[in-house]
Amino acid sequence: MRMPQEQGRVEASKAGGNLHSFHNAPLSTGARPLASSDSTEELEGEEREAWKAALPSESYVPRVMPRLLSTGDMVATFLLIVFFITNATTAVAGGAAAFTYWAIGALAFFIPGVIATAQLGVIFPHEGSLYNWTHKAFGGYWSFFAAFCAWFPGVLVIISAGDVIVSYLQGLNPGWLTEPWQQGLFIIVLIAVTSTLAIQRYSAVQKLVNLVAGLTLVAVMLLGLAGLVWLLRGHPSATSFSHLSDWSIRFDKNSGNLYLFGLITLAYLGTEVPLNMGGEVARLRVITRHLFWGAVLVIVGYGIATFALLVIAGPQNGAAPFALVHVVDLALGKFMGNVVAFCLMSFFIMAMVVYNYAYARLLMVAGIDQRLPVKVARLNRQRVPANAMIFQAAVAIVVTAFVFLLAPYTVQITTPANLSTEVYNVMLASSTLVWAFSAGFLFFNLIRLHGMRHPLLRERRIVPAPLLWGSVLCGSVACFLAIIGTLFYSWTNLISNTQWFIIISVLTFAYLVIAAIGSMFANSEANWESARL
């Protein structure tokens, strides 16, 4: 049910603008969650009591954060979360086979992930998405573990978006930001500016997000037009599409392209992230609609961008992020190229904003549910979790300083520029693997809910059972294979595959250990907070 803005403010005022009064009230008397059900006859004992109990965040969030997000708002958010168009510049290394991998990744992982996300979102339309769903399936420890595995990579993606902006500025003027320390300081400034924007009134920020999503679609259309114009003017394609071998998967040790499977499949990560704000959507049908249209736009967008790069630039010249602008320069002229550059830079700036406020919801609900200190969940005057966003920005700034300001000038192994690239790729790849591990919980949760015979899984099933469970099986296998592929194939020529495997394995394991230990502390925090009450 849609809640007017004024009513939301009244409820927030009653709550005192903080969580103190809420946590001093009996938690069992909170408002009944949208997805609860009386049909729990099949559940017995502790499991039945677990399903009847609602997390505090399920009732608190709708009281202080009105349900205002429409399908268009969520589609725009989905685009800025999932559609990192520069992934196309990675895919083109496979030539025509890039389309094969995009299709395999979509069919085997992305679409199953969308179906699983939609199913869980319809059953439990609450704030926190994966955190909330995993709590329903596996309990408090694993919910925090899955949420942490999803949260930390999100912080690093904020840095990644800033790094892409640096690449675009260098493409416009090669003399800009040539040193790692200059790049690092610029990214830190970007993090500070975008974080300041993120803590403003959410409805105003969402309008900017919608505008930038529209600009992104304009850039995609111009890329598609550039590819067509290039061919219509009689230019030969820079990539061969005429032989079946051009499209095939090659397993050769030296000329194989199997390494692209992990890279391209993991480019589809993030289907559940917009539903971190699931408690703020206007209507239940927004969940399924935004996932459908968002998935269509992402698949088409990646295909168009890859087509333009392969036709005009080819596998080698199309591998740089700025190639997306360069191909438009060649086919449509400098003015249109500048338009695309503006659109794409706007995308990555707003992506930093969206990732900040979307992932802040995970910290917020963990604070409300007493798994983190309550302070992290407090809202500012604009009714957004500013403390969580500021904390995320601080973490991102510290990591940026290490990668670009400290490591290149203290570890004398290679040139500063190369070392910052190596460290950046290593951190991004290892965190992406952790993110992929958390994405596996989309499928594990459904399996667990089925085993516990949760009534809503039957009552609110959105697709036929064979399609749902086929998606669970296919998505789980594809996620596992993508993780294995990323472990064995280096993302940069500066690091050999053997070195890459050792480094990424150790770092990924370390992240998972940190998540496991953090989950234990989160449980302790919850018990301590409960004891205080």
Would you say the C-alpha torsion 291, 293, 297, 303 has a positive or negative sign?
positive
Name, in order, each residue with C-beta under 8 angstroms of 136's C-beta and a sequence gap of 6 or more: 50, 51, 124, 445, 449, 454
What local confidence, expressed as pLDDT, does residue 53 receive?
67
The tokens describing 169, both together, are: 């500025």
DSSP calls for 111-148: HHHHHHHHHHHHH---TTTHHHHHHHHH-HHHHHHHHH
The partner residues of 281 in beta bridges, in order of sequence, read 69
CB 163 within 8 Å of CB 134: no
With residues binned 3-state (H G I as helix, E B as strand, rest as coil), the percentages for the chain, rounded to 5, are: 75, 0, 25
Q: How many CB atoms lie within 10 A of CB 15?
A: 16
The partner residues of 69 in beta bridges, in order of sequence, read 281
Best CATH choice for the domain 70-532 from the list 1.20.1740.10, 3.40.50.620, 3.60.21.10, 2.60.40.1180: 1.20.1740.10
Nearest Cα to 476, choosing from 439, 521, 505?
439
Q: How many CB atoms lie within 10 A of CB 107?
A: 13
Q: Half-sphere exposure of residue 402, counting CA atoms within 13 Å on the CB side?
A: 12
Cα–Cα distance, 360 to 354 (Å, whole number): 10
What local confidence, expressed as pLDDT, does residue 40 receive?
37
pLDDT per 10-residue tile (average), the chain, 533 residues: 38 42 36 36 46 80 90 98 94 94 97 98 95 93 91 90 92 90 95 96 95 98 98 96 91 76 92 96 95 98 97 92 95 96 97 96 94 90 94 95 87 67 79 91 96 90 96 96 91 85 90 84 57 49
Q: For residues 136-168, b (16+ Cβ closer than 10 Å) or e, as one string?
A: bbbebbbbbbbbbbbbbbbbbbbbbbbbbbbbb
Q: pTM score > 0.85 for this model?
A: yes
Q: How many CB atoms lie within 10 A of CB 35?
A: 20
What local confidence, expressed as pLDDT, does residue 31 receive?
34
**H or E segment and range at residue 239:** none
Nearest Cα to 442, choosing from 93, 136, 61, 59?
136
Q: Half-sphere exposure of residue 177, counting CA atoms within 13 Å on the CB side?
A: 20
Q: For residues 188-201, b (16+ Cβ closer than 10 Å) or e, as one string?
A: bebbeebbebbbbe
